[in-house]
C-alpha cells in the first residue's frame, strides 16, 4: 500500500501544503454523493454543499456528516440543533456550486430563485428537485481537525421522484446510475 508523498507528516510550510494537495487529489478518487445541508435560525434559512455524508445506523436511524469549522452554515446548524439534508439530483450541479460558494449571500438571499419546502419535523429547507432528503436533529458532535463530525438523528426521510443522484468524482460532477 502506498503512503503518497513518502509518508511525510503534515506540518507547516510548503511541504505541508504539498501534502494536503496530494491528499485532496487522492481523496478525489473516491466518488461521493452531493448534498446540501440546510437549517433555519431566527426565521432565516441557511445552506451549504457537503459531500461528507453517510448513513451511520439503522437502529436508531442516524446519519453522519462533517462540517468545516469556518463555515457560517455549520455554525448555524450547530446553533439551531436541527438540519435537513437534500441529496441533490443529477441536474442540480448549479445548486451544488451555488451553495458551495463562500462569497454568496447569506440567509434568505442565498435561497433566492431556489424553490424548497419545509421538512416535516424540523421545518428546515428541503430543496425541490432533490433525489432524497433526511430531516434531522443534532445528536452528537465530535471535533475532527478542521471539521466537526455531526451525528444526526433522523426523524423523517424520503426518496423523491426525479433524476438520479448527483455524484462528485475526480473533481467533476456526474450522474449516479439509476437504481
pLDDT tens digit sequence for 86-99: 999 999 999 999 99
Residue 48 CA to residue 37 CA, distance in Å, equals 5
Are the C-beta atoms of residues 134 and 157 closer than 8 Å to each other?
Answer: yes
The secondary structure of 51-93, three-state, reads CCEEEEEECCEEEEEEEECCCHHHHHHHHHCEEEEEECECCCH
Q: Which residues contact 102 (CB under 8 A, 6 or more apart)?
A: none
- Residue 41: predicted pLDDT: 94
Q: How confident is the model at residue 108 (pLDDT cuts 50, 70, 90)?
A: confident
Q: Which three cell numbers stand for residue 154?
A: 433522523
Q: How confident is the model at residue 171 (pLDDT cuts 50, 70, 90)?
A: low
Q: Which three cell numbers stand for residue 94?
A: 448549479
- Residue 12: predicted pLDDT: 58
Maximum alpha-carbon separation in the chain: 50
Cα torsion 83, 141, 159, 128: sign: positive
Helix, coil or strand: residue 137 = strand
What are the phi and psi torsion angles at 76 (to 5°)? -65, -40
Structural domains of the chain, with CATH = 33-171 (2.30.110.10)
Q: Which of 1-5, 17-21, 159-163 has the highest mean pLDDT?
A: 17-21
Are the C-beta atoms of residues 159 and 111 closer than 8 Å to each other?
Answer: no
Q: Which residues contact 90 (CB under 8 A, 6 or more apart)?
A: 131, 163, 164, 165, 166, 167, 174, 175, 176
Q: Note the residue count of the chain.
A: 179
Residue 36 CA to residue 109 CA, distance in Å, equals 16
- Please state whether the predicted TM-score (pTM) of the whole model is above 0.95: no
Amino acid at each position: 500500500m502506498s503512503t503518497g508523498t513518502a509518508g511525510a507528516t503534515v506540518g507547516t510550510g510548503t511541504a505541508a501544503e504539498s501534502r494536503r494537495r496530494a491528499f485532496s487529489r487522492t481523496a478525489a478518487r473516491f466518488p461521493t454523493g452531493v448534498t446540501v445541508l440546510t437549517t433555519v435560525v431566527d426565521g432565516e434559512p441557511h445552506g451549504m454543499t457537503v459531500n461528507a455524508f453517510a448513513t451511520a445506523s439503522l437502529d436508531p436511524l442516524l446519519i453522519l456528516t462533517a462540517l468545516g469549522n469556518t463555515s457560517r452554515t455549520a455554525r448555524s446548524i450547530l446553533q439551531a440543533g436541527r438540519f435537513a439534508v437534500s441529496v441533490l439530483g443529477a441536474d442540480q450541479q448549479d445548486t451544488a456550486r451555488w451553495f458551495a460558494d463562500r462569497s454568496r449571500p447569506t440567509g434568505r438571499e442565498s435561497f433566492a430563485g431556489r424553490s424548497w419546502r419545509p421538512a416535516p419535523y424540523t421545518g428546515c429547507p428541503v430543496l425541490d428537485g432533490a433525489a432524497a432528503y433526511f430531516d434531522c436533529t443534532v445528536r452528537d458532535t465530535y471535533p475532527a481537525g478542521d471539521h466537526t463530525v455531526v451525528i444526526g438523528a433522523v426523524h423523517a426521510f424520503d426518496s423523491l421522484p426525479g433524476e438520479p443522484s448527483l455524484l462528485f468524482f475526480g473533481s467533476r460532477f456526474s450522474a449516479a446510475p439509476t437504481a
